């Protein structure tokens, strides 16, 4: 049994293959993963049932496993920030702010070839999607 934060063998392997600047999408259960990711993106379907796992649970494990340099979210057209964004900030490395993208900017960003992993969760909250950029591990 692994002692690292991430013990899912498929996800661990793909995380290990990511390098500086590669990106990871953690998506809620409503996100159109097949329509709005690149054909070369590794898609992992973790959703077990409604709400499980939550995007924040997956973000916690990812942030404990790899270095994160940047994070972007899909801002609703209303401009009102969803409550889940404050949870994201608590789980990200200190001082890391969230970049805000419109819905279609977010979809476009998630369709690029540098999105190496897209993880579908059971999350039911809307706009609970986060796009992470892999950083550099310091010595």
SS (H, E, C) the chain: CCCCCCCCHHHHHHHHHCCCCCEEEEECCCCCCCCCCCCCCEEEECCCECCECCHHHHHHHHHHHCCEEEEEEECCCCCCCCCHHHHHHHHCCCCCCEEEECHHHHHHHHCCCCEEEEEECCCCCCCCCEEEEECCCCC
pLDDT, one tens digit per residue, over 74-90 is 999 998 999 999 999 99
Query: For the chain, what is the mean pLDDT?
Result: 94
What's the whole-number mean pLDDT along residues 6-17?
Answer: 91
52, part of any domain: yes
127, part of any domain: yes
What's the whole-number mean pLDDT along residues 119-132?
Answer: 97
Q: Any idea what the CATH number is for the domain that residue 106 is in?
A: 3.40.1650.10
7, part of any domain: no
12, part of any domain: no
14, part of any domain: no
5, part of any domain: no
15, part of any domain: no
State how many domains the chain has: 1
Q: Tell me the residue range of the domain where 31 lies.
A: 21-134
4, part of any domain: no
């Amino acid at each position: 049994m692994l002692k690292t934060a991430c013990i899912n063998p498929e996800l661990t392997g793909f995380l290990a293959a990511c390098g500086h600047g590669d990106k990871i999408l953690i998506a809620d259960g409503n996100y159109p993963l097949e329509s709005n990711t690149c054909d070369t993106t590794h898609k992992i379907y973790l959703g077990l049932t409604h709400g499980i796992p939550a995007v924040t649970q997956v973000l916690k494990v990812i942030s404990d496993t790899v270095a994160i340099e940047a994070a972007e979210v899909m801002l609703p057209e209303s401009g009102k920030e969803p409550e889940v964004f404050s949870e994201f900030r608590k789980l990200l490395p200190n001082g890391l702010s969230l970049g805000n993208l419109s819905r279609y900017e977010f979809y476009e960003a998630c369709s690029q070839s540098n999105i190496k992993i897209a993880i579908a969760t059971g999350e039911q909250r809307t706009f609970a999607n986060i796009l992470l950029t892999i950083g550099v591990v310091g010595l």
